[in-house]
Amino acid sequence: MLIKKPPRNAPSEAHATPESAYVSRRTVMKGLGAGIGGLLLARSAHALDLFSSEKNAAAVRKPLEFAAAKPVPELTLTPEAKVTNHNNFYEFGTGKTDPAENSQGLKIEPWTLTVEGEVEKPATVDVWKLMNEIGLEERIYRMRCVEAWSMVIPWVGFELGKFLQRFAPTSRAKYVAFETLYDPEQMPGQRNRYVGGGVDYPYVEGLRMDEAMHPLTILSVGLYGKTLPPQNGAPVRLVVPWKYGFKGIKSIVKIKLVERMPPTSWNKLAPQEYGFYANVNPAVDHPRWSQASERFIGPGGLFSVKRQPTLPFNGYAEEVAGLYSGMNLKKFY
């Protein structure tokens, strides 16, 4: 396990929570290979009243076996109820509490994931069998949303890069394209683009090949030691901790390795606001709000934590800044 000292602007013990919930900012464990990201939080306060909601308690959430990250007294976990009851998943509605309320009927078993394109060994895998075969681990990541909020979440999953290696990418593979399940019968937001936030479904996302192969990039199948709930992207979603939350595509059914930059849903919908890269860059404001500071969502209420400066690459600059050497990060936002 690799543990690095967090930046001085990381949330401190002043954000009081039980000692057992403290974790390292960059706990990265070795192992085989874990939006419209689920971490884009509301700007209104009333939605936070449902953080303690038990409405999604009936959803089947299987316990996972994985290599657990060792708690270190440096960061505070965001309470599970806040992560699972305050989401963006427009396929189930545009309100922040809509996904938890409307997604519980999503059929997540069986679930297959197809890997195709520029690979020598294209295949379709059963995600639930994969969970039993592949070595899962816990990654405790600080996640940042476009709307100036952040969370600290214990994801469970595996490295995307090691997973992709199973399919033998060719030399022509320059990008990785992802696609969410398209099923309007189960996902009411897909029935009408105007109800579903104007997105042209199915939802699609993409990474450059070197971003996808970076060891911080994971496919998550769980959080807080259990399988993902539907509103957080069950049964498998993307997690890229140095990028804004909308890159974390949920309920993935297809991964395609391609030679040219693939389209991404939010970039297609609003290219003046959402670029392909979506790296956390405090120096570049969203057209409708500043990205220079953020509010950490911890154990208290909406206004219990003061704003803190936003960190370049969400605090992971030491690990990933080299991927963008020589690039204009204001132009390629």
Element (H, E) at 99: helix 98-102
Rounded to the nearest 10 degrees, how much is the dihedral formed by the CA atoms of 216, 222, 223, 228? 130
Average pLDDT rounded to a whole number, residues 55-70:
73
Q: What pLDDT does residue 54 have?
A: 46
Q: Is the pLDDT of residue 39 over 60?
A: no
For the ranges 281-285, 306-310, 327-331, the lowest mean pLDDT is seen at: 306-310
Residues 173, 90, 101, 299: is their CA dihedral positive or negative? positive
303 burial (CB, 10 Å; 0-12 / 13-18 / 19+) is exposed
Chain segment 196-227, per-residue pLDDT in tens: 678 999 999 999 999 999 999 999 999 999 99
161, 283, 138, 323: which is closest to 225 by C-alpha? 138
SS3 284: coil
Distance of CA 203 to the CA centre of its chain: 14
CA dist 169 and 120 (Å) reads: 6
Chain segment 119-159, per-residue pLDDT in tens: 999 999 999 999 999 999 999 999 999 888 899 999 999 99
Please state whether 209 falls in left (phi above 0), alpha (psi between -120 and 50) or beta: alpha
Fold of the domain spanning 19-324: Sulfite Oxidase; Chain A, domain 2 (3.90.420)
Q: What pLDDT does residue 265 have?
A: 96
CA dist 256 and 177 (Å) reads: 5
Q: Is the pLDDT of residue 11 over 60?
A: no
What is the pLDDT confidence band of residue 53, given thresholds at 50, 70 and 90?
A: very low
The DSSP symbol for 90 reads: G
Q: What pLDDT does residue 35 have?
A: 29
Enter the pTM of the model.
0.84
Chain segment 261-281, per-residue pLDDT in tens: 999 999 999 998 999 999 999
Average pLDDT rounded to a whole number, residues 287-316:
85
